[in-house]
Chain A
């Protein structure tokens, strides 16, 4: 995304280590809090970011990739767009196809990335999960103002 002097952008790169997820959630939530997101949106954001980053960490583990995972938050007038980008190859390269994995939350507690993606899409119906050349990008938008 091009530089936009009007709006803030926050970026966090973290090693694919699950012990860092707590700090990543804190980062995402504090950006949202500072930019005035309602508390209920932040509750949902923490879950969705955690799921997206967990999938990213696990994808890096499966692909044996040590590259950093990137979380970017772009501010706009009415929302904050969060993007989680990994280099863990992803579903285009033989991983589980997210659309197929979607609605199995209660049926199969042992299923892999499916629960996480299902939760993200339940919390943020407009969330995108898309392949990139090196992995997967999850994009979700959080309202800054009470709807």
Chain B
């Protein structure tokens, strides 16, 4: 099911749950106008008792430091709670963002999320 986030420049989410792991497929550009919606959606999932959260970025053609902040925060909060944040399928632009911010090894990568 595709969820449309309200007032967020049309960011969309698909969530898949699979014992202990949630996969959040994000669709749309993540910038300062949509980062809050992403943060809220991740927070909801973090409260759902998942040890692993996969953020699938295949359909995110653009992200800037606003999105990076959200991912960094989620990453450290999950780690503190004994969980893991994994990043799947970053697009060229998102991979470049990770690279230039020195964070390309900071986020654990998962090549192909299950159920694809």
Write the residues of chain A forming the contact surface with B, with a CB cutoff of 8 angstroms: 18-19, 21-22, 25, 43-44, 46-47, 50-51, 54, 57-58, 105-106, 109-110, 115-116, 118-119, 122-123
Contacts and interface: CB of A to CB of B under 8 A. Distances in A.
Contacts of A44: 96, 100
B31 A54 contact: yes
B31 A119 contact: no
Contact of A109 (B29, B31, B33, B76): B76
A54 B96 contact: no
A133 B31 CA distance: 28
B93 A43 contact: yes
Which of A47, A115, A123 has the most C-beta atoms of chain B within 10 angstroms of its own C-beta? A47
A47 B97 contact: yes
Q: Which of A25, A58, A109 has the largest number of chain B CB atoms within 10 A?
A: A109
- Size category of the B interface is 20 to 34
Interface of B: 9, 29, 31-33, 62, 64-66, 68-69, 72-73, 76, 92-93, 96-97, 100-103, 106
Given A22-B29, A43-B93, A123 B100 contact: yes
Nearest to B92: A43
A116 to B, nearest CB: 5
Contacts of A105: 101-103
Given A19-B33, A47-B64, A106 B101 contact: yes
A12 B69 CA distance: 28
A115 B33 contact: no
A47 B69 CA distance: 14
